[in-house]
Amino acid sequence: MQQTYFMIKPEIVAAGEQKIGDILAIVNRAGFRITGLAMRTLPRELVEDFYGEHRGKPFYGELVEYIAGGPVVTVRLERENAVAALRELIGATNPAEAAIGTIRNLYGASLQNNAVHASANPADAERELGLIFG
């Protein structure tokens, strides 16, 4: 079994419990087991570390403000080939390019407000899970 990190972003949390539940149901139907779940507002310093690889890029400050600016749902998931399977399930970063039926296609509004985050690779999953769940 492999673990990965999944986050439902602030705009979805602000939209209400129905969308959160719908997204978690999609993940569950795809064979993932939820082994950690919390709704919380992440401290700015944690978000800065979390997105550290983007430091210095034009969108970094706005991204940090956006993620730290409201509650998110943090999720630890488990299944075989979890990282790759979740990346496929969420779709392309830009919802306009995401495959039909993926989470970002269904719930994403823009490149920044793309509904969810998922670890890009196993090393990122380990780092992100450590930052978020300790």
More confident residue, 100 or 113: 100
**How far from 47 is each of 14, 26, 131, CA to CA, in Å?**
18, 26, 9
- What pLDDT does residue 17 have? 87
Q: What is the rounded average pLDDT of the residues 21-46?
A: 97
- What pLDDT does residue 112 have? 80
- What pLDDT does residue 16 have? 84
Which residues lie below 8 Å from residue 5, measured CB to CB, with a gap of 6+? Answer: 74, 75, 76, 77, 117, 118, 119, 124, 125, 128, 129, 132
Query: How many domains does the chain contain in total?
Result: 1
Q: Is 76 helix (H, G, I), strand (E, B) or coil?
A: strand
CATH code for position 18: 3.30.70.141
Q: Which residues are catalytic?
A: 117
Q: Which range of residues forms the domain containing residue 68?
A: 2-133
Q: What is the pLDDT of residues 40-81, one digit of tens each?
A: 999 999 999 999 888 988 989 999 999 999 999 999 999 999
Give 71's DSSP letter. -
- What pLDDT does residue 111 have? 82
CA–CA gap between residue 112 and residue 109 (Å, rounded): 8
- Rounded to two decimals, the pTM is 0.92
